[in-house]
């Protein structure tokens, strides 16, 4: 299930968030080599993990096996603050668009082959399922160029915001991706189920902070 954690319920989910911080450190620092964000306590946290952040945790039997974060774009976010060079124009800013970042899946939940990882698919489904009733219409994200086709196959309208650039030896492109009810239906089709991916308490989570 996907647990959505916001400022409204983070105090009741400290154990899960501790797992999330450590998962982020394992993925982005220890595996991907982002030495600049390494911490002695093995918890990857940055300046955007504040009261405006929305954390999506894939939880399997009380273990966090996947993570991603949503940030409002109506205020400073990662792309606008640290990677504006990926945009040929001004980075998007809208109360209806979030930034999707810090996307990762634990080694124990990874799969091989060309199919989209089930945990990552559940997280993306959770974003759309959670976001649509809250007025979200899409997200911006910095991602490997290979992800673009996958988003289109999921009926998510991904448009590059600029030309790809090499970052940490990976070709990265910033995209503005729109979603709607058709996207949710395609995601459900890919998952083979129309059941909600959200934990029951996350289906009534507070609206996105702004």
Which pLDDT score, from 0 to 100, does residue 202 have?
82
Q: Average pLDDT of each block of 10 consecutive residues along the chain (210 residues)? A: 96 96 95 86 95 97 96 97 96 97 91 81 97 96 94 96 92 97 96 95 56
How far apart CA 86 and CA 105 sit, in angstroms, is 24
The neighbour count for residue 94, using CB atoms within 10 Å, is 14
Q: Report pTM.
A: 0.92
- How high is the pLDDT of residue 208? 46
Supply the pLDDT for residue 183. Answer: 97
φ, ψ (nearest 5 deg) of residue 15: -65, -45
């Amino acid at each position: 299930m996907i647990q959505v954690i916001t400022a409204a319920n983070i105090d009741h989910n400290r154990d899960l968030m501790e797992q999330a911080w450590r998962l982020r450190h394992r993925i982005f620092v220890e595996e991907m080599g982002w030495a600049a964000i390494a911490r002695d306590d093995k918890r990857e946290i940055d300046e955007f993990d504040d009261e405006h952040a929305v954390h999506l945790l894939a939880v399997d039997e009380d273990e966090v096996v996947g993570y991603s974060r949503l940030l409002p774009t109506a205020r400073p976010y990662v792309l606008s603050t640290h990677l504006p060079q990926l945009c040929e124009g001004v980075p998007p800013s809208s109360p209806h668009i979030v930034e999707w970042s810090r996307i990762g899946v634990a080694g124990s939940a990874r799969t091989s082959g060309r199919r989209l990882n089930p945990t990552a698919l559940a997280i993306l489904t959770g974003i759309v399922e959670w976001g649509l009733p809250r007025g979200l219409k899409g997200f911006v994200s910095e991602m490997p160029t290979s992800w673009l086709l996958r988003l289109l196959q999921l009926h998510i309208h991904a448009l590059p915001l600029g030309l790809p650039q090499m970052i940490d030896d990976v070709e990265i492109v910033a995209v503005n991706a729109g979603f709607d009810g058709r996207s949710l239906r395609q995601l459900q089709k890919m998952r083979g189920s129309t059941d909600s991916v959200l934990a029951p308490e996350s289906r009534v989570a507070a609206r996105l902070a702004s």
